[in-house]
Structures are given as structure tokens and as C-alpha cells.
Amino acid sequence: MTLADTTTAVLEVRDLTVSFPSEAGRVDAVRGVSFDLLPGRTLGIVGESGSGKSVTSLAIMGLLDDNARVAGSIRFGGDELLGKTDAQMSKLRGNGIAMIFQDPLTSLTPVFTIGDQLIEALTVHDSRMTRQAASARAIELLRLVGIPNPEKRLKSFPHEFSGGMRQRVVIAIAMANRPKLIIADEPTTALDVTIQAQILELIKTAQRETGAAVIMITHDMGVVANIADDVLVMYAGKPIEQAPVDELFADTRMPYSIGLLGAIPRVDKAEKQPLVPIKGNPPLLVNLPDACPFADRCPIAVDACRRKEPELLPVGGKVEHRAACIRAEEIRAGYIDGHPVYPVPEVPTSALVRTPREERPATLVVDNLVKTFPLTRGAFFKRRIGDVHAVRNVSFDVREGECMAIVGESGSGKTTTLLQIMDLAQQQDGDIRINGVSVADIRSARAERDLRRDIQIVFQDPMGALDPRMTVYDIIAEPLHTIGESKDRIETRVDELMDLVGLNPAHSDRFPTAFSGGQRQRIGIARALATNPKVVVLDEPVSALDVSIQAGVINLLDELKVKLGLSYLFVAHDLSVVRHIADRVAVMYLGSFVEHGDVDAVFDNPQHPYTQALLSAIPVPDPRIERTRERIVLTGDLPSPTEEPRGCPFVTRCPLYRTLAPEQQELCEGVMPPLTGEDGVHVNACHWR
């Protein structure tokens, strides 16, 4: 690695524009992006879906479709990239410029071993390299990215690796030829938080090793605060604010960036302030008028905003901080003329909240829930060779007007728990009681239908959960038809519900495709509320939405809970959202709760080592906190849930376990820790906490 040349830019992008032809007209996906990238620096490009951030990266790689029109200039090490043929670009890709894609499951070829793929990446750019030399280098690379036992793993196929491990291999391939520039397109979005923390660390390592410049494309402000040196915020294909990371977070000037930051729930803040959603939606990138593209959504727009599109100009007398807003000089840290740029919406409080928890009736009681899936082998005669213990002995209760959240990594069994409850599954040694009625008492289909009135579900994917062949009216009316409401009553109730979730009742004769993601989720919520249920089960209701939209849906859920006195059972992997919305939280690991209690107690004073690691892995959208934060990075992945562990299921990854004396470790390995602590307030399953 040479440090001599750190002042000349690796990559110079000037006035990059990309447009695509479409049936509606020319789509201007990128409209004038310019930046310089110095060696060893990291540029974070943030924006919502459709803001043109991925198209920018593909333009740099020369991977756009043939029908894309690219103009401007991209100079890599002084060499103009635009106008190069695909064959010329191939020499650069993977060699000078490397790319890490979002989905590690699809970016490796399943039919070749990872060794073959690594060696291919090495030899394709260096034909003189012998196979021995290449495989020695491959082993070195795998060791560098932290894959244990690399000599053996070289012969493994991608499916033998977990998602996080595969992303490590992808990074190893990206590092293989010591590129000068690594482009990472949402590299951690598909991964769990604990794995995300590992991968972000690894990208930093890769950068240190190769001295490369990194372009980090993400929608997560926390990731930006963690890894970036400079930030470029994109909106409607144009950079609207560009600054060093500290500047951007401390002194945000452009209203859109302020809105983006205000819309994120914070995992490290306890106060329950409503989030600030940005109203409206991004403009179509077809025939944009010469006006600020954000003006229609901006709370402080003036007439001048609509006259001319503002240029990206330096603000506050600093050359490196530039914003595209004519009022940027007036804005200081989210305030303009002493008022916040975004007025904070009011959220009502209810009398229920003031009633102590113990005095409120329990609407959902789950006692000792167990679910095992049989593991079978054999094509014709299925032999049972083991069990997958998806959920083990989970017990909790949800009171009226309360939101209980279950958090955990993928594979921890949180969704299975939900589905067991929704299936009203009979339990061997346990029980599920909804509003006082036990599922064991269900004798007829009629009794089941009656019970289902009280518990309804909202799904994760707002598109998949709505039948595309039904109009919104029919969708919302379906649960009402099922319980046998009269036609007139349904008619008024549907209008009422549409109004309740903030949709125009006049739109009820449209099909769901005519609505945006956030609106579809509102339709899903309206359907769930149709029968006036006591409990609403929410399965990752906001994880498929953009942040500015997500804030609106979270506020709606908050408001409905208070207005209608609902109980929520909320499943999420995003702990910031959970902190914002939940009253009680349970942390799930390998099918059982490891910590359970009041949300502030658990988040402010996490006791179980797993909870501590989980919380420390979440990036906070504040670069100063990010830099000084002590992070517990868990090693390894979730172990397989097939075997029944005798002791604590977390021993394989536990950081505390490694610091214990041998006789203390024996206890961990031999005895399953029960949930202990202050009952009903905060309990954890660790022998030593």
C-alpha cells in the first residue's frame, strides 16, 4: 500500500447525467452528479429508492443498459471511463474498480466452489499467475476476511455458507486485485444487525489493506454515520447536499436532509416524540420543471423555489459543505427563524397509558408456547431424523393499550411465534388466550371465526398482503363480510376505516397497484382494524418502506393504539423502530426469550450479553457517537436450531462466557438458564447477570 499519492483523486465525476427512454418519456435518473474521491476516503451516497444512487454507481462501473444515455465525465486515475467499450471496461472491473452487491445470496455462482470463483477473479486479470499462486492468495484473502479454516473452505460451495459468510467471500473477491476503488451498493441491507456490524468492520479492514477509496451506497443514515468520511445526499437524481460527515449531521442545511434525519427513530433516545414524516412522495423523473424538485414536499418552500432549480452551492462560507437550497443560509441545525423546519405532529395520549399496567386486562396471554418442525430425510420414505426447535417455551402477556415487541435476528423464531398465535395452534403443555378465551376451547369453525374477530394481522410486504384482483373496498370489506355484517353497515364502515388510516375514501374503487407502498400498508392496517379487534399482530410492518414513509406509518400505529385502545404484538428486527413504538420488549435467541421487560429498562440497561451485543451493533445516525461507541461485535452466526442444547444456547457466541473461569463456564454449558430478575418488569436468562 502506498500512501504517497493521497492528494490526487482516484475518481473524478463531473456533471454525470443518466437518462433512460420509457413509455412515459425520457426518465432523467441522474441529473448532474459531481464529486472527487481521494484514496483511502469513503463517500457515502444516501437517498431513498429511486433517487438515482444505484444508477450512479452502475454508470461508474459501466454496467448500465445499452439504452441508457450517459453524459458528463467520469475519470478514474486520470483516465476517462465514459466512451470505453465493454471489453475495455472489463479490464478495469474487478481490477481497478470492484463492486460489492446487496444480495450475497445471488452474487456468487452456486455451481462453482468459492475457491474457483476467487481464483477466477485473480487469474482473469493476471494471466501469468499460476494456479498455485492464485490459490495461495485466495487462502490469504479468506483469512483476511475472517473465514475460519480457509484451506478447507476453499472447496466449499456458496450454499454451505451463511449470508454473512457469503458477503465476506464477496468482499474477498472485491479485494482480490487490490482495487483503487470499491463500490458497495447497500452491502448490509439484506443482513442482520450483528452481521451488519461485522461486515462494516470488514469493509473498513479491506479499505485499510488496499488503501482503496470506497463509495458506500445506502439508505441507512446510521451506516453513513458509522463508515463515511463525506456524504452526498441525493434526491430526484440530483445531489442536494454534500458535506463531510460531521458537518452534515451537525449542521444540516437542506430541508430534505433534515427531514430524512428527523424521520429515523433513534435506538439511543428514550423520549417518545412523534417522528416527523415528510409529506408527499418523490416526483416522477420525467419532464421535471425547472424548479426545486423538493418544493412540493418542503414545509418552508417559498415562491422563489418554484421559479428555478437551485444549484449546489457552498453554504456557511465553507467550501466543502454545499447544499442545493435557496434558503440554506437561513437554516441552522434544523431551525429556521427560531422554529423547527418540520413542525412536530401532535400525538394524543390516552387515559389507558396512565392506568398502571397491572390494572389493565390482558388481551393476549401466551403460556409456554412450543413449536418444533420435524426434520426428514429420504425421497420416498420420509424418515424423521431430528427436530428443528423453532420456538421453545415462550410465555408472555400483552395488556390492553400496550405494544409488546419481539426482536431477534432472522431464524430466531419470532415469526414462527406470531404464526403459531395466528394459527390458534393448540398447545401440548401450554395455552394461548385471546381476550380471555383459550384456544383449547375452540370446538367449531364458528367459534374459531368468532375468536378471529379479536385478533388480526398486518403483514410485512404491503404488496403481497393485498389481493391484486380486488378493489380496496373489497379488501377492507372482506373481514366484515366474513363476520356477516350487513351491506349498508359495511359501506359506511369501509369509508370510516379509510378515513381513520389517512386515505381518501373516494379512492376505494381502485386496485392496490394504484397506491404507493406506504398507502398499501395503510390499507393493510385498515383491513386489520375492520372487525374492531383487541389485538393486532404486526409482522415487520415498516421494514419494506422508505424512511420518510416509514415515519408516517409508525405515527399512524402510535395514534391508533391510543385512539382505539389496541394491543399490538410487534415483530421487528429494527431495534430503533421497536424502541420508538413498543412499551414492552422481548429479545429472542434460538427460539427462546433471553431478555424480557419494559422497553426503557431493557434498552437502557441491557443485561443479557446477547441483548448488549444486539444494541451495540445498531448504527446510530450521529457520527460523533458512532466513533466513540464501544461496540461488542459478536463472532460467528446463529447456530443451527436442530439439536437440543443442554446449557445456554448462546455459549457459542457469548463474549461474557469467554471471560469466565472454567468452573463457571461449566454451569453455562450444562444448565439452561431460566428467566430471572424483577418479575414483570425486567427479566433475563443469564446465570451471571
As given in the structure block, the three cell numbers for residue 605 are 440497561
Closer residue to other proteins in complex, CB, 424/594: 424
CA torsion angle for 220, 224, 225, 226 (degrees, to 10)?
Answer: 100
Name the minimum Å distance from CB 483 to other proteins: 7
Q: CA-to-CA distance for 67 and 535, rounded, in angstroms?
A: 51
The reply to whether 420 sits near other proteins by the rule CB under 8 A is no
Per-position x/- string for 318-357, each x denoting binding to other proteins as judged by CB under 8 A, each - no binding: ----------------------------------------
- What number of helices (H) and strands (E) belong to the chain? 22, 27
Considering only residues 447-486, where is the footprint of other proteins by CB under 8 A? 448-449, 452-453, 456-457, 459-461, 464-471, 473-474, 478-479, 482-483
Instruction: List the one residue out of 524, 522, 450 whose CA is nearest residue 482.
Output: 450
User: Is residue 585 helix, strand or coil?
Assistant: strand
Name the minimum Å distance from CB 26 to other proteins: 10
The reply to whether 48 sits near other proteins by the rule CB under 8 A is yes
> At which residue does the C-alpha cell 479454516 appear?
149
Closer residue to other proteins in complex, CB, 65/346: 65
Interacting span for other proteins (CB under 8 A) from 189-197, 322-330, 518-526, 677-685: 518-526
- Sole binder of other proteins in the list 204, 357, 507, 631 (CB under 8 A): 507
> At which residue does the C-alpha cell 414545509 appear?
299
Name the minimum Å distance from CB 58 to other proteins: 8
Closer residue to other proteins in complex, CB, 183/602: 183
The reply to whether 508 sits near other proteins by the rule CB under 8 A is yes
Closer residue to other proteins in complex, CB, 9/523: 523
Q: Which residues pair with 438 in a beta bridge?
A: 433
Q: CA-to-CA distance for 209 and 93, rounded, in angstroms?
A: 19
How many angstroms from the chain centroid is the CA of residue 410? 12
The reply to whether 512 sits near other proteins by the rule CB under 8 A is yes
What is the DSSP secondary-structure string of 122-175? HHTS-TT--HHHHHHHHHHHHHHTT-SSHHHHTT--GGGS-HHHHHHHHHHHHH
Q: CA-to-CA distance for 357 and 275, rounded, in angstroms?
A: 25
Q: Are 677 and 683 contacting, i.e. CB atoms less than 8 angstroms apart?
A: yes
Closer residue to other proteins in complex, CB, 311/450: 450
Closer residue to other proteins in complex, CB, 198/420: 420
Interacting span for other proteins (CB under 8 A) from 50-58, 165-173, 342-350, 566-574: 50-58
Considering only residues 571-630, where is the footprint of other proteins by CB under 8 A? none
Considering only residues 5-24, where is the footprint of other proteins by CB under 8 A? 20, 22-24
The reply to whether 55 sits near other proteins by the rule CB under 8 A is yes
Name the minimum Å distance from CB 519 to other proteins: 6
- Sole binder of other proteins in the list 516, 543, 652, 665 (CB under 8 A): 516
Helix (H) or strand (E) holding 393: strand 383-399
User: Is residue 678 helix, strand or coil?
Assistant: strand
Q: How far is CA 335 from each of CA 183, 299, 316, 491, 552, rounded to the nearest angstrom? A: 35, 12, 15, 45, 21
Considering only residues 181-200, where is the footprint of other proteins by CB under 8 A? none
- Sole binder of other proteins in the list 514, 642, 671, 678 (CB under 8 A): 514
The phi, psi pair for 438, rounded to 5°, reads -85, 140
Closer residue to other proteins in complex, CB, 111/506: 506
- Residue 58, exposed/middle/buried by CB under 10 A (0-12, 13-18, 19+)? buried
Per-position x/- string for 67-106, each x denoting binding to other proteins as judged by CB under 8 A, each - no binding: -x--------------------------------------
What is the DSSP secondary-structure string of 273-299? PPP-PPPS-PPPSBS--SS-TTTTT-T
CA dihedral sign, ordered 519, 525, 526, 527? positive
Considering CB under 8 A, how many residues would be counted as binding other proteins?
72
Closer residue to other proteins in complex, CB, 168/452: 452
Considering only residues 520-559, where is the footprint of other proteins by CB under 8 A? 524, 527, 531, 546, 548-549, 552
Name the minimum Å distance from CB 141 to other proteins: 29
Name, in order, each residue with C-beta under 8 angstroms of 367's C-beta and a sequence gap of 6 or more.
395, 427, 430, 431, 432, 433
Name the minimum Å distance from CB 239 to other proteins: 17
Closer residue to other proteins in complex, CB, 66/358: 66
Name the minimum Å distance from CB 264 to other proteins: 16
Amino acid at 449: R
- Sole binder of other proteins in the list 10, 16, 29, 60 (CB under 8 A): 29
Interacting span for other proteins (CB under 8 A) from 47-55, 433-441, 605-613, 628-636: 47-55
CA dihedral sign, ordered 470, 475, 477, 478? positive
Span between the terminal Cα atoms of the chain, in Å? 45
Interacting span for other proteins (CB under 8 A) from 85-93, 142-150, 441-449, 634-642: 441-449
Per-position x/- string for 248-287, each x denoting binding to other proteins as judged by CB under 8 A, each - no binding: -----------------------------x-xxxx-xxx-
